[in-house]
């Protein structure tokens, strides 16, 4: 925007020197309109970035928060194979391994083995990129986001919260859930489930 204004200032003396009579007035009006439009565009851009930032920090999923909240405001998949992870008995992680999302108070990164197996949580390969924001802000946006996971065969459903990133692509799995959630759904590793955003005010657990 600064370059546009500089270019206008460089041209204005030439117009003043070359123009005569009514033409000078017309040129002056055109320049005033251009500057006014530039100022309006600048204000619009600033307010747009602010709106995107505040919407991105909200708990509403992209479909409710409106367009433009995320570059890719969609779940990685809406149907896929399920895995199970987390808790003290999870031998696939080290004791000090931390969750990928800042799910604790004040956005603290909790340890994987501190997860309670009977609780309802999940992991997916999230897209962390919010418009005009850093990946860290993107992680905060996804942290504790509520998802609805449904057993494709039986229709049983649970609400889980996002706590980690995964499963690894090499596993062929699309979402990881807690042992408690898997039991409530009646699924085992490799079974297929449907995935969607849940009501963000809904409690975690089985859907009656």
pLDDT of residue 73: 56
104 or 72: which leads in pLDDT: 104
Q: 63 lies in a domain?
A: no
Domain identity same for 7 and 32: yes
7 or 80: which leads in pLDDT: 80
- 33-92 pLDDT, tens digit each: 344 444 443 333 333 333 223 333 333 444 444 333 344 457 999 999 999 998 887 888
**Confidence bin at 179 (pLDDT 50/70/90):** very high
Domain identity same for 97 and 149: yes
Domain identity same for 39 and 86: no
Give the whole-angstrom CA distance, residue 203 versus residue 158.
10
Residue 152 near residue 79 (C-beta atoms within 8 A): yes
Q: 144 lies in a domain?
A: yes
| Three-state SS at 20 | coil
Q: Is pLDDT at 27 greater than 60 in this prediction?
A: no
| 180 Rama class: left (phi>0) / alpha (psi -120 to 50) / beta | alpha
Q: Is pLDDT at 22 greater than 80 in this prediction?
A: no
- 119-169 pLDDT, tens digit each: 999 999 998 887 677 899 889 999 999 999 999 999 999 999 999 999 999
Domain identity same for 39 and 91: no
Q: Domain of 16?
A: 2-56
Domain identity same for 74 and 134: yes
């Amino acid at each position: 925007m600064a370059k546009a204004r500089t270019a206008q200032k460089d041209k204005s003396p030439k117009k003043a020197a070359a123009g005569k009579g009514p033409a000078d007035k017309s040129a002056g009006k055109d320049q005033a309109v251009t500057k006014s439009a530039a100022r309006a565009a600048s204000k619009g851009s600033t307010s747009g970035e602010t709106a995107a930032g505040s919407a991105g920090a909200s708990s509403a999923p992209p479909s409710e928060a409106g367009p433009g909240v995320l570059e890719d405001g969609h779940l990685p998949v809406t149907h896929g194979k399920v895995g199970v992870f987390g808790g003290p008995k999870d031998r696939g992680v080290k004791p000090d391994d931390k969750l990928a999302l800042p799910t604790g108070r004040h956005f603290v990164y909790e340890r994987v083995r501190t997860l309670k197996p009977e609780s309802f949580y999940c992991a997916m390969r999230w897209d962390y990129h919010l418009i005009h924001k850093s990946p860290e802000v993107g992680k905060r946006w996804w942290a504790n986001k509520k998802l609805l996971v449904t057993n494709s065969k039986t229709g049983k459903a649970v609400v889980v919260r996002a706590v980690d990133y995964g499963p690894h692509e090499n596993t062929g799995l699309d979402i990881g859930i807690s042992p408690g959630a898997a039991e409530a759904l009646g699924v085992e590793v490799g079974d297929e489930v449907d995935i969607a955003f849940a009501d963000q005010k809904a409690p975690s657990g089985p859907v009656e």
